[in-house]
Amino acid sequence: MKDILLKVQAAQKLSSEEPEQAELFLRSALKDAEALGQSSATLHLQLAELLYRLRRTRQALEEVFVVLELDPFNLTAVKLYQTLGRRLRSEATAAERSVS
Amino acid sequence: MLTGAKLEALLAKLRRALEERGDAEAAEKLFREVLAEAQRLGVASAYVHYVLSGALDRMGKLEMAFDEIKKAVRADPLALPVRHAFGDVAARLRAALADPERAVDDAAIPRLYTLLVEAGEADLEAHLAMVRFAVATAQLERARALAEAVTTLFPAAREAWEALARVARAQGDVARAVAADAEAVGVGVQAPLFGVTGKAMA
């Protein structure tokens, strides 16, 4: 558990300057947690926020789904879900426009 | 995933609770209604326990805030914000217990102390507050057992030995009191960590 928390702390520190590295730490922490039979809505939410900032909208949405599965009352996740939905729609509209 | 009108209604209630500024009691009631419903649906929501703990803390309901933040940690032990909040509330609880303004025989002391001990968050000051309470309420055997344990846990703390000496004296155990006093004097003397005192010789 301590090792996982250290990875989460490292991810938090790296998230603004080195988001790609932060992602690696977070995914590793999630994998370790899973091996221990632990699931953490907050860790998935952290990863979703990171992916959102990296503009990987679909992947972020997948993570938000996991958060809402674990804790459907997490309003931060609900808000991010709505934001991601809007972004996906606007991306789709932009893609349609560029095709036409 | 939980969806539908029922979830929307609960989320709306949760938003109302978070936006409630003037009436903290009303907000608490809303939070608790959401929690009860979440429990009924088999969801352990770290988020709701966390935000309720914050609301209770702001209302000065420290013990209830601690109870909720413990539940939040249990629901999501890897959540750093939750763990930080747990540390903050525990620190405030310790400060409340060790408050010099608090009467030594205040009935709240054992309750606060038990909360901290059960959470593994009692520090030296918390233990000593409980020793003082036990002495003040004539529970000398309990005070003695606790004081002995505190000197084992914190052998380098002069206050622990002094507390043990006071309890032993109150019990009429002069030998133990004198021995504890000697320990207290001993731990008060700080040997230099480096170097040899006196004039340096080549």
ipTM of this predicted structure: 0.87
Question: In 3D, which of B156, B107, B164 has the Cα closest to residue B140?
Answer: B164
Separation CA A48–CA A61 (nearest Å): 7
CB contact under 8 A, B18 and A75: yes
Predicted confidence (pLDDT) at residue B200 exceeds the cutoff of 70: no
Average pLDDT over residues B5-10: 88
Residue B163 in contact with residue B131, Cβ under 8 Å?
A: yes
pLDDT of residue A84: 94
Of B38, B47, B81, the CB nearest to A75: B47
Selected residue with higher pLDDT from B11 and B23: B11
Q: Do A75 and B14 touch (CB under 8 A)?
A: yes
Of A33, A68, A73, the CB nearest to B34: A73
Yes or no, beta carbons of B83 and A5 under 8 Å apart: yes
pTM of the model: 0.83
Please state the separation of Cα B72 from the chain's center in Å: 16
Q: Could you tell me the end-to-end alpha-carbon distance of chain B, in angstroms, rounded to an integer? A: 78
**Comparing C-alpha atoms, which of B27, B77, B19 is closest to residue A75?**
B19
Out of B3, B47, B81, name the one closest to residue A71 (CB): B47
Return the exposure string of A23-57: e unless at least 16 CB atoms fall within 10 Å of the residue's CB, then b: bebbebbbebbeeeeebbbbbbbbbbbbbbeeeeb
CB contact under 8 A, B43 and A72: yes
Q: pLDDT value at position B197?
A: 58
Q: What is the pLDDT of residues B127-156, one digit of tens each?
A: 999 999 999 999 999 999 999 999 999 999
* H or E stretch at B181: helix B174-188
Average pLDDT of the residues of chain B: 91
Q: What is the mean pLDDT of residues B52-59?
A: 92
What is the tens place of the pLDDT at every residue in B15-46?
999 888 778 889 999 999 999 999 988 889 99
Contact state of A42 with B46 under an 8 Å Cβ cutoff: yes
Specify the higher pLDDT residue, B194 or B165. B165
What is the predicted pLDDT for the residue at A100? 74
Spans in chain A with pLDDT lower than 70: none
State yes or no: pLDDT of B1 exceeds 80.
no
pLDDT of residue B23: 85
Long-range Cβ pairs for the range A62-69 (8 Å, 24+): A65/B1, A66/A41, A67/A41, A68/B1, A68/B2, A69/B1
User: Which pLDDT does position B191 carry in this prediction?
Assistant: 59
| pLDDT per position as a tens digit, B109-121 | 999 999 999 999 9
Size of interface A-B (CB pairs under 8 A): 66
Report how far residue A45's alpha carbon sits from residue A39's, in angstroms, rounded to the nearest whole number: 12
Is it the case that residue B87 has pLDDT exceeding 80? Answer: yes
Q: Which residues of B touch A78 (CB under 8 A)?
A: 11
Which residues in B have their CB inside 8 Å of a CB on A? Answer: 1-3, 7, 10-11, 14-15, 18, 34, 38, 43, 45-48, 75-83
- Distance CA(B122)–CA(B165), nearest Å, equals 21
**Cβ within 8 Å, pair A42-B80:** yes
The chain B residue lying nearest A30, using CA atoms, is: B78
Question: Is A28 in CB contact (< 8 Å) with chain B?
Answer: no
